[in-house]
Amino acid sequence: MKVLVFVEQRGGKSKSSALEALSVGARLAGSTADLAAVVVGKGVEGIAGSLKGYGADTVYVVDQAAFDLYNPVAYAAAVEAAIKAHGAKVVVGLAAPMTRDLFPRLAARFDGGILTDVTAVELAGSNLQGVKPMYAGKVLAKVETQNAPVQFVSVRPNTFKAENKGTGNAALSKLDVAAPADSRIKTLEVRKGASERPDLTEAPLIVSGGRAMGSSDNFKILNELADVIHATVGASRAAVDSGYASHDMQVGQTGKTVNPNVYIACGISGSIQHMAGMRTSKVIVAVNTDPEAPIFKVANYGIVADLFQAVPVFTQKFKALLEK
C-alpha cells in the first residue's frame, strides 16, 4: 500500500510525536519503497535525515520561503503535490493542530475518506479501519473508510510507539510547489506562547489544577512540581473560568484532549467534561480533599488530602528520587 506520512514541523523542528506517525505509516505500508514522508516549511531539509531508519525510502521536501509559516491553503497544495508524486492511497499524520486543520481540506479535495484522532488503525483490504474515542471518550467507535481514492488518518499523539528499525534510507526528494497565487489567506505571524514547556496534547507528564487552587498565584506550586519532573501544567475548566489559569491550559471537553504517561490532578473533582479530556492518560494520580470526588474512580493512585499540603511534598520526594 502506497503510504505518505505528513511530518509536522514548526520552526524547522519536527514534532516529537512525528516519528510515531511515521512508524504507523511504516506498518501500513509494509515495504520501505511504499512508504514516503513529506516535510513542508522553510529550512526544513535537515529533517529528512532525522527520519532515516524509520521505514521510508523517500522524504519529499517542500522547502521554500512561501511555506515558512503554516497556511492551510498553501500547505494543502504542498501535501497534494506529495500525494500525487508518491501515488499515495493512505496519508498519515498526527492528531495535532496543524494536521487536524489540513487533512479535512485535503480529504474534501480528493473526495477521500478520513479518520481522525485514532488510537488504533490497520488496513482491511484497501480500506483503513480505526478505533477512535467518541462522546467525550464514553465510547470507542470502530470507524472505516470506504469508496475512497485517497484516505487520511490522524493518530493520537503519545499512543503509538516510534520505532527505528533501521530500514528505509529517507532519501531527500525535493518537490517544487508553487504556493497558490490567488490564495485569499495570508499568515501574518505566529506569536510565541508564554510557556516553554511541551504542549499539553503531547506532554508525557501533566500536573493539573482545579478550582481548589484558589488563585493564579497558587499555580506556582504546580509549576515547581512540574519543573522537577519536566511536566506541563494544565487546568480544569473551573480553574480557567475562575481566572486562575489561561484558556490554552484547559484540559477537557472545551479544552484540550491529553494523553500523557502520568496525569496528576490536584484539587480537580473530575467532571464528565474534564474526564473527556484526560481519561486516556496512562496513569492518573488524584489529590483531593473529598473522598467521594469522581476523579478517584478513574485514578490509579489517589490521596485524600489538601493539595497545598501534598503538592510540595510530591515536589520534594520526586526531587530526592530523581537526584539519586
Partner 1 sequence: MKILVLLKQTPDTESKIQISADGSKIETAALKYIINPYDEFAIEEALKIKEKAGSGEVVIASFAGDSAKELIVKGLAMGGDRGLLVSADGLDGLDSLSVAKILAAAVKAENPDLVLVGKQAIDDDNMHVGVMLAELLKWPHVNVVTKLTLNGKTAVAEREVEGGQVEVYELELPAVIGAQKALNTPRYASLPGIMKAKKKPLDTKKPSDYGVDAAALKAAPKAVVRGFTPPPEKPAGKVFKGEDVAVMVDKVVKLLREEAKVI
For partner 1, the closer CB: 33 or 305:
305
Q: Are 227 and 171 in contact (CB under 8 A)?
A: no
Which secondary structure element, helix H or strand E, spans residue 127, and what is its range? strand 127-134
Judged by CB under 8 A, the stretch of 48-56, 163-171, 206-214, 277-285 that binds partner 1 is 277-285
Closest CA to 54 of 41, 40, 39, 35: 35
Residue found under cell 485524600? 304
Does 321 contact partner 1 by CB under 8 A?
yes
For partner 1, the closer CB: 5 or 264:
264
For partner 1, the closer CB: 48 or 114:
114
Judged by CB under 8 A, the stretch of 19-27, 45-53, 170-178, 280-288 that binds partner 1 is 280-288
- Binder among 164, 173, 195, 216 for partner 1 (CB under 8 A): 195
Supply angle C-alpha 8, 14, 20, rounded to 5. 75
- State the DSSP code for 222: H
- Binder among 147, 161, 166, 217 for partner 1 (CB under 8 A): 147
Does 190 contact partner 1 by CB under 8 A?
yes
Does 80 contact partner 1 by CB under 8 A?
no
For partner 1, the closer CB: 72 or 214:
72
Does 76 contact partner 1 by CB under 8 A?
yes
Does 126 contact partner 1 by CB under 8 A?
no
Does 233 contact partner 1 by CB under 8 A?
no
Distance CA 308, CA 129 (A): 46
Which secondary structure element, helix H or strand E, spans residue 121, and what is its range? strand 120-124
Closest CA to 24 of 50, 6, 48, 49: 6
| Nearest distance in Å: CB 280, partner 1 | 8
- State the DSSP code for 192: P
Residues binding partner 1: number (CB under 8 A): 101
Q: Are 256 and 278 in contact (CB under 8 A)?
A: no
